[in-house]
Structure 1
C-alpha cells in the first residue's frame, strides 16, 4: 500500500453514512411539523395556566370541585333548575369541607411555629 492509496471500503462506508444524513434532512419537514404542534400545545397549556392564575381562590376551588365531580359550567347551565340547585348545594358542601380542612391545617401549622 503506497502513501497515496485510498481504502475504498472506508470511502464506501462514509458515502452510505452521508446518505443517511441527507435522508434525515429530507425528513426535517416532519420534525418542523412536530415542533410546531408541540409549541402550539405549549401555548394552549400556557393559556390554561394564565386563566387559572387569574382566578380567585374561590373560583379555583370551584373549578377543582367541578373537575372532581366530572362536570363543566356549561353542563350545569344545561341542567334543569332543580338539578342546578342540587349540584350547587353539593359544590357548596364540598367547598365548606375543603375550607374547614385548610383552616385545620393552618391551625396545626401555627401551633407548630
Structure 2
C-alpha cells in the first residue's frame, strides 16, 4: 500500500479528469472489511459552507485503503470521482400514473 499524501491547504494541486480536491473537517471514520478480507475506510468530511450565514455545510464520504484523518482534523484530499446510476418509481400521481425516475449517486475515492 502507498502512504497517504496529505495536501497542503491553499497549495495548487494538479488534478486530471474525474478528480476533485476537497477541503474540510473530518467528522467520523469507520472501517469495514470486504468479502475478500481487504480493509476499507470511509471518512466523513464536512465541507465549509459557501453561502450566507444560514447555509448548512455539505458533507461527503471518502473511501480509502488507509485512514487519512481523525475526527476534528482539517484535511485537504485529492479524490477520484465516480458513482453509479439507479432508478426508482415515484408514487402514483392523482391520475394513477407512475413515473420512473433515473438518478445517480456520486462516490469519492482517495487518490493514494
TM-score computed with the length of structure 2 as normaliser: 0.19
Q: Greater Rg, structure 1 or structure 2?
A: 1
Higher share in strand: 2
Taking structure 1 as the reference length, the TM-score comes to 0.19
Bigger relative contact order (CA 8 A; separation at least 6): 2
